[in-house]
A and B are shown apart, each in its own frame.
Chain A
């Protein structure tokens, strides 16, 4: 019987690319190395996720040249990848950054991107699953997890509002001949309705004002004076809020909603006929026989029509 030869060490990637399968294997191997998190000093890590020497793994795939080792050549891509995706999240999440501080935010972002790397052709969608991740792994945001979840939702809502679809407006003309009992309204796809546990809208406005002050956008005061005035924005206290994030003339706005108004809008969004949507949001009885409530509801709808929130189905 032939003695068994010792098992050959698995190569990091195929030695030749002679088929699409080989190409896929090579790309998987390179991507595994390029997407490895950076070290604390923002360099490529000396060990791979499975404990191999990174230099050895890279050396099997990448040629060195007369100035750079294989490791150093692939490190350029490793660094570019992480700088690009982290910068993108950093830009999209000023509120989360303000709560956690830059260092903790970066740790959260890195952990998030390892678990949920981009699955979209556009960096726009990078924060799409951040709220979910914060809920799944609260250790990155403790003790502010609830606030951070609200902020992640709120900041993602702004991305959606910025370039979400707008359909042709619903006008009073479209009410002609409609059966009031069956009438259904539709909300603009870009409109985002949020029920949150913190006043994240006020917080974010304060953060943006502070950033503008630090940049000097709205003041000619010397930098030192600006920094003094731009004191840190305190973390918001718990307060249930309903917020509509919407856009007007290409700009994003936040509008506080009364809880009942938000319930009505959410029911409309869920496809309920208007009659049932109103029933979902409004109290069944009121002391004055509903007169005050009727005026209030009329005011809501007038405002929503003016803002163009209703669209044709």
Chain B
């Protein structure tokens, strides 16, 4: 089910993150790419080269906005100035949906610039869902929340991460940006089965997927986005596509960025799984309801 209410009923195929080292290549060679994902904050500025580049990209390509600082999970209210700038950018890009992370990262107006993991409790899910609704109502756009990689778990947590994600998206009635690499990284860091995670989220809400590379350290995995996608992540992705149907997919490569062609070739590997899913004519995932009481 490529198109659903959470991605603005679009069928976007395989996208790439728009990154500075590739600007010149993209603008001069105009390669064929299904769509680009931009980091909203990079372009929430008043002018200059960032917006000049963006306008030239918009003239040629479809663009989807992905953010890193809405912090749906922070206890404080959304920052109005931030939302005003974000809305102005969405008018410019005409993004069909907007994604940001299921995490927190600001306290009383001070920003960590990190994606900090949530305590998985019902009260936290309620507050997070409330904020997602506020943002969606202000921006008047479908929202998809992305599961993050994490390295820490809290004593106060009352449920698994996938139960928390499901609780939030059902309460907010929003979409999921399913980051398959993040699921894999967290599964190793917290010793859970990544297939349990993917099997138990509401598949009909998956608006988009992320794939990426990560780094193995002795005692944990780190989500570095500086490698090709590793085999276990591809396997997990194939499984997710079988459950969710064909879904807009984006490769993230943010550090030690190789040539545009290399990044694009890596992303296009997802096509084999998408082709299988298209051939299999996977029916639209059924709407699921939460097992937990509200």
Instruction: Show the binding face of A for B, using Cβ within 8 Å.
Output: 13-24, 26-28, 30-31, 34-35, 60-63, 65-68, 72-74, 76-77, 80-81, 84-85, 117-124, 161-166, 189-190, 247, 250
Contacts and interface: CB of A to CB of B under 8 A. Distances in A.
B75 A27 contact: yes
Contact of B155 (A19, A20, A61, A119): A61
B90 to A, nearest CB: 15
28 contacts: A16-B156, A18-B123, A23-B123, A24-B76, A26-B119, A27-B75, A27-B116, A31-B107, A34-B116, A61-B155, A76-B151, A76-B152, A77-B152, A81-B112, A84-B113, A118-B110, A118-B111, A121-B41, A122-B69, A161-B48, A163-B45, A163-B47, A163-B48, A165-B47, A166-B48, A189-B47, A190-B48, A247-B48
Nearest to B118: A23
Interface of B: 41, 44-52, 69, 74-76, 79, 82, 104, 106-114, 116, 119, 121-124, 127, 151-156, 189-191, 219-220, 222
Contact of B151 (A30, A77, A121, A161): A77
A17 B220 contact: no
B186 to A, nearest CB: 12
A73 B150 CA distance: 10
B152 A122 contact: no
B95 to A, nearest CB: 18
Nearest to A72: B219
A84 B91 CA distance: 31
A23 B75 contact: yes
B89 to A, nearest CB: 12
A34 B103 CA distance: 15
B47 A23 contact: no
A120 B153 CA distance: 27
Contact of B104 (A27, A166, A189, A250): A27
Contacts of B75: 20-21, 23-24, 27
B191 A66 contact: yes
A250 B127 contact: no
A35 B44 contact: no
Given A67-B220, A68-B220, A164 B48 contact: yes
Contacts of B82: 121
Q: What are the nearest 10 A-B pairs in CB distance?
A: A165-B46, A24-B75, A163-B48, A163-B45, A250-B49, A121-B69, A67-B219, A118-B111, A17-B121, A76-B151
Contacts of B155: 15, 60-63
Contacts of B122: 18
B152 A19 contact: no
Nearest to B111: A118
B112 A121 contact: no
B224 to A, nearest CB: 11
A117 B113 CA distance: 11
A24 B190 CA distance: 24
B110 A119 contact: yes
Nearest to B189: A65
A19 B123 contact: yes
Contacts of B109: 119
A237 B102 CA distance: 52
A134 B123 CA distance: 43
Nearest to A20: B127
B74 A63 contact: no
